[in-house]
């Protein structure tokens, strides 16, 4: 009876070893400085107590630093721009378009990722490799930030640091809340602008809406979730007092003048008075440890802009 030919493809139990060996052979230089060693017999071993974290998501990276766990970071994604030290780490690329080879080249023993990380096939491959892939829910609320701090604290062995950070954040949050009382209605339109060809505005269930809620700012548009293109007529009808945008979006369309050239905006109260406010994307929308500061800064910027206009 003829024997059955065995597949050379590793089964699920050995897939992690197979992927690590493949990555080690392809990206030997990265492994040479890592806590993983490729022995003469081809077996990949991990040195004791070595933790190598790849963080995919700017807010998650900020939390890692805030927990004093940055010594274990070996790579980040393109949204990890704060603190400045994070920009000096190896970069695995844009969170939504990762490559299996690029991530494995960093020899990670743990991956922290947001729900936006992808493509899904790459995330499945990383999980199948045996490397713990921890997807941390966004939940754009203050409590969601505290939950992320506690979870990353547990994952990195910094539970005590996480407890202290939570207490600090709660104190900062309470201080911010005292400045957000008895405010007049302020209407804003948040624009997601990657090009000058179309206006995408934030509706419900977005981080922009959550930030406006926390800063006691009324979204000038409603009735839809996520981001949606608006006609010039709809933009004019929204009558925003303020136009909100990220620094990156502002630069993409050529600054304030570029924003005001977008269809309909120049005919709004905000456009006529050039009331455009921008902040760095992760600071305003990341919901990381700087959230209390970001809410306070947004409130101050809007209040200052409207006060200046009313005094003219």
Superfamily the domain 7-165 falls into: Nitrogenase molybdenum iron protein domain (3.40.50.1980)
Q: What is the pLDDT of residue 3?
A: 42
Taking phi over 0 as left and psi of -120 to 50 as alpha, with beta for the rest, 82 belongs to beta
| Averaged pLDDT for residues 113-130 | 94
* Helix axes of 291-310 and 159-177: crossing angle, nearest 10 degrees: 20
pLDDT band of residue 181 (cuts 50, 70, 90) is confident
Among the residue ranges 8-22, 182-196, 218-232, the one predicted with the least confidence is 8-22
Q: CB-based contacts of 92: which residues, under 8 Å, 6+ apart?
A: 54, 56, 75, 76, 77, 98, 99, 102, 103, 106
pLDDT in tens, 47-64: 556 899 999 999 999 999
Q: Taking 90 as the threshold, does the pLDDT of residue 189 lie above it?
A: yes
pTM score: 0.84
Considering the segment(s) 187-310 as one domain, its CATH architecture is: 3-Layer(aba) Sandwich (3.40)
Whether 295 and 217 have beta carbons less than 8 Å apart is answered as no
Only one residue has tokens 């974290």, namely 53
Q: What residues does each domain of the chain span?
A: 7-165, 187-310
Locate tokens 């548009």: which residue?
221
pLDDT tens, residue by residue, 241-278: 999 999 999 998 999 999 999 889 999 999 999 999 99
Distances (CA, A) of 290 to 81, 169, 253: 13, 9, 26
Domains 7-165 and 187-310 share a fold: yes
Which pLDDT score is estimated for 20? Answer: 52
pLDDT in tens, 193-209: 766 666 789 999 999 99
């Amino acid at each position: 009876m003829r024997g059955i030919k065995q597949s050379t493809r590793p089964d699920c139990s050995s897939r992690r070893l197979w992927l690590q060996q493949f990555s080690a052979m392809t990206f030997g230089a990265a492994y040479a400085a890592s806590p993983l060693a490729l022995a003469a017999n081809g077996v990949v071993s991990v040195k004791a107590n070595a933790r190598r974290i790849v963080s995919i998501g700017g807010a998650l990276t900020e939390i890692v630093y805030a927990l004093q766990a940055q010594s274990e970071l070996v790579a980040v994604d393109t949204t990890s721009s704060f603190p400045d030290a994070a920009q000096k780490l190896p970069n695995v690329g844009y969170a939504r378009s990762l490559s299996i080879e690029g991530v494995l080249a960093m020899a990670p023993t743990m991956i922290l990722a947001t729900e936006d990380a992808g493509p899904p096939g790459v995330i499945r491959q990383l999980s199948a490799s045996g490397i713990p892939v921890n997807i941390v829910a966004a939940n754009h609320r203050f409590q969601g930030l505290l939950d992320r701090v506690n979870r990353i604290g547990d994952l990195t062995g910094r539970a005590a640091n996480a407890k202290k950070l939570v207490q600090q954040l709660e104190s900062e949050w309470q201080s911010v809340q005292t400045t957000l009382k008895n405010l007049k209605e302020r209407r804003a339109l948040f624009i997601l602008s990657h090009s000058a060809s179309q206006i995408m505005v934030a509706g419900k269930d977005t981080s922009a809406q959550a930030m406006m809620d926390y800063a006691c700012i009324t979204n000038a548009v409603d009735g839809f979730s996520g981001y949606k293109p608006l006609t010039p007529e709809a933009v004019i009808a929204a009558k925003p007092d303020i136009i909100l945008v990220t620094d990156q979006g502002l630069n993409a369309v050529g600054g304030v003048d570029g924003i005001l050239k977008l269809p309909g905006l120049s005919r709004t109260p905000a456009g006529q008075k050039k009331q455009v406010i921008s902040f760095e994307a992760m600071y305003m929308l990341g919901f990381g440890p700087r959230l209390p500061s970001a809410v306070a800064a947004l409130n101050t910027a809007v209040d200052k802009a409207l006060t200046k206009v009313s005094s003219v």
